[in-house]
Amino acid sequence: MTTTTATNHSLGPEFTQQVIDSMGPKTPERLREIMTSFIKHIHAFADEVQLTSDEWMVGVNMMNWAGQMSNEKRNEGQLMCDVIGLESLVDDITFTAATRSTNGLTASAILGPFYREDHPIRENGSTISFNTPKDAQVAFMHGRVTDGKTGEPLANAEIDVWQASTNGLYEQQDPDQQDLNLRGKYITDSDGCYSFYLLRPTPYPLPEDGPAAEMLRKMDRHFYRPAHIHLLVRSKGHRQLVTQIFDKDCKYLKNDTVFAVKEELAVEFKPRKGDEKADWDLEYNIALAPSA
Amino acid sequence: MTTTTATNHSLGPEFTQQVIDSMGPKTPERLREIMTSFIKHIHAFADEVQLTSDEWMVGVNMMNWAGQMSNEKRNEGQLMCDVIGLESLVDDITFTAATRSTNGLTASAILGPFYREDHPIRENGSTISFNTPKDAQVAFMHGRVTDGKTGEPLANAEIDVWQASTNGLYEQQDPDQQDLNLRGKYITDSDGCYSFYLLRPTPYPLPEDGPAAEMLRKMDRHFYRPAHIHLLVRSKGHRQLVTQIFDKDCKYLKNDTVFAVKEELAVEFKPRKGDEKADWDLEYNIALAPSA
């Protein structure tokens, strides 16, 4: 592909092509495709806005700052992508590509930077909340996991769940929460059913001390994610589902700072009667795509 | 501006516009322009190549890795931009914008990540090489700094010069070189003239242990920069000039790994007679743009 667009710099359109053509013959085809498009768009961006060296260096410094803040508990590079919608976009692309031939499946949403791989398996009907704050409302969440094609219930499916506490912090961000608080893995029974207690989620701001927050400030944007629960669902013979479900009554539903909300992922919490342990009831059924 | 291109993802073109429209009314106009174009191009890139979540995460990890490797002596985020030509492009845009109405000026080139602000002032005719390696060839560099518009010589202009040694390392990368070796600042005399001894430059590879090198490996590219000397020139009432000059006999002149070479920055080293201290002579005159 030859770039033919006129440029506003003295290097001319052949400069971009020269950079693309520097890739050697052993470049894997998929990587060549990705880098060709990336180089083309990054150059077109710089040309379109006539990006200056000083402006570019602001971006480089923010990128380096993101790496310096990132560790096993925090991924600030990911968060910078999130606030410009990139993680939601690639999630949609990946999910759409994976399920183009099937319907009626539970929609995906982004993983986010706070997942941990070591969630303990807990008993159905138990709680993930071990440091329940006074201002929290407890909910009982339950439902069935099915095959999205046949509708059959899926036994032994794994549901990883995680959420922030009412102060907006995940346990790894908060010394006042015990290890693995508000996290757990549940296995569906022979009817494909799962159940657990958790907090009715509350909105919270993104971390305010890094470059992602600095970008939001500069763009005059709010920091809030709508109230949500993270889910990661696995079942043998089915595609892994990463998603989030959102409280439909949350005021940030229409303007999530990381653009992860999809209409079909908004859920309704209903008052729960006759259960001392929970004020709210949430039924949520999950339909998984069979593996390709 | 409304994006009207058809997309290959289920979020549709309005998704990109939604992200752009999230910028609040207090966003500075220049930042709004830059972020609008950046978001548009990054989304278009992801859509064009149907970037998957896993592929995107490879990029996030490399970005974070770059930040983690960067410190006051090394800027790996900058280097990642360099190997895809971005620093050269923004340098050209900045230089072109700065001098659109003038001609006959010395061309700019990128600063690179190895500049230091604390170069000592040295006497004209002195050397910047204090640990001259056995395999080095010494050159005498001299010339005049003039006003690019009037041709008048500029007295008291400052020329910062820095270069790598023959092992390819700048002094801050190399424990065997003394502090500030191969660096210095020279002040032009009343005739606008400067002179110093330095090494005839040699090609060297970029650092091979970071994400920029990893990108080059994946793209099946070589790591070499052509032999060059860095210059930063300042004179009161004139625009600062950042440039590099390149040995025209170097085999990497046509395929610089950071795309910084411009034809007019290639220079010829001539044999130097009657000087025990140098084998080569380089005359280099510099014409600066008056301040706007």
pLDDT band at B102 (very low <50, low <70, confident <90, very high): low
ipTM here: 0.87
User: pLDDT value at position A37?
Assistant: 98
The residues pairing with A229 across neighbouring beta strands, listed in sequence order, are A245
User: pLDDT value at position B72?
Assistant: 81
From A65, A85, A218, residue closest to B67, measured CB to CB: A65
From B22, B77, B92, residue closest to A255, measured CB to CB: B22
Q: Tell me if chain A has a CB within 8 Å of the CB of B5.
A: no
CA atoms within 13 A on the CB side of B119: 25
Give the whole-angstrom CA distance, residue A70 versus residue A62: 12
A4 pLDDT more than 50: no
pLDDT band at A223 (very low <50, low <70, confident <90, very high): very high
Q: What is the pTM of this model?
A: 0.86
pLDDT band at B118 (very low <50, low <70, confident <90, very high): very high
Size of interface A-B (CB pairs under 8 A): 230
CB contact under 8 A, A55 and B90: yes
* Residue B290: alpha-carbon gap to chain centroid: 22
Q: Tell me if chain A has a CB within 8 Å of the CB of B107.
A: no
Picking from B161, B159, B157, B160, the residue whose alpha carbon sits closest to that of residue B147 is B157
A27 contacts in B (CB within 8 Å)?
218-220
CB contact under 8 A, B56 and A86: yes
CATH 2.60.130.10 region(s) of chain B?
A: 80-288
User: pLDDT value at position A164?
Assistant: 97
Tokens 């910078």 appear where? A80
B3 pLDDT more than 50: no
Tell me which H or E stretch contains B218.
helix B211-218
User: pLDDT value at position B160?
Assistant: 98
CB contact under 8 A, B77 and A64: yes
A220-A224-A226-A229 Cα dihedral, nearest 10 degrees: 140
Give the whole-angstrom CA distance, residue B209 versus residue B215: 11
- Give the 3-state secondary structure of residue A165: coil
Q: Range with the lowest mean pLDDT among B94-98, B107-111, B186-190?
A: B94-98
pLDDT per residue over B35-85, tens digit each? 999 999 999 999 999 999 999 999 999 999 999 999 887 899 999 999 999
From B23, B47, B221, residue closest to A220, measured CB to CB: B23
A54 contacts in B (CB within 8 Å)?
94
Characterize B65-94 residue by residue with b for buried, 16 or more Cβ atoms within 10 angstroms of its Cβ, and e for exposed: bbbbbbeeebbbbbbbbbbbbbbbbbbbbb
What percent of chain B clears pLDDT 70, i.e. is strictly above it? 96
pLDDT per residue over A191-220, tens digit each? 999 999 999 999 999 989 999 999 999 999
Tokens 């390392």 appear where? B169
Give the whole-angstrom CA distance, residue B257 versus residue B50: 28
The residue among A8 and B239 whose pLDDT is bigger is: B239
Q: Tell me if chain B has a CB within 8 Å of the CB of A45.
A: yes
What average pLDDT does this structure show over A94-110?
75
Closest Cα of chain B to A60: distance in Å? Answer: 6
| Coarse DSSP helix, strand, coil percentages of chain B, rounded to the nearest 5 percent | 30, 20, 50
A262 pLDDT more than 70: yes
For every residue of B146-164, DSSP letters joined together read EETTT--B-TT-EEEEE--
Q: Tell me if chain A has a CB within 8 Å of the CB of B81.
A: yes
Give the whole-angstrom CA distance, residue A48 versus residue B202: 36
CB contact under 8 A, A60 and B81: yes
pLDDT band at A11 (very low <50, low <70, confident <90, very high): confident
B1 pLDDT more than 80: no
CA atoms within 13 A on the CB side of A188: 24
User: pLDDT value at position B189?
Assistant: 98
What average pLDDT does this structure show over B143-163?
97
B80-288: which CATH number, 2.60.130.10, 3.40.50.300, 3.30.300.160, 3.40.50.970?
Answer: 2.60.130.10
Contact (Cβ atoms closer than 8 angstroms) between residue A23 and residue B221: yes
User: pLDDT value at position A6?
Assistant: 66
B100 pLDDT more than 60: no
What residue in A sits closest to B99 (Cα-Cα)? A10
pLDDT per residue over A121-140, tens digit each? 999 999 999 999 999 999 99
B287 pLDDT more than 50: yes
CA atoms within 13 A on the CB side of B194: 30
Give the whole-angstrom CA distance, residue A169 versus residue A165: 6
Q: Tell me if chain A has a CB within 8 Å of the CB of B58.
A: no
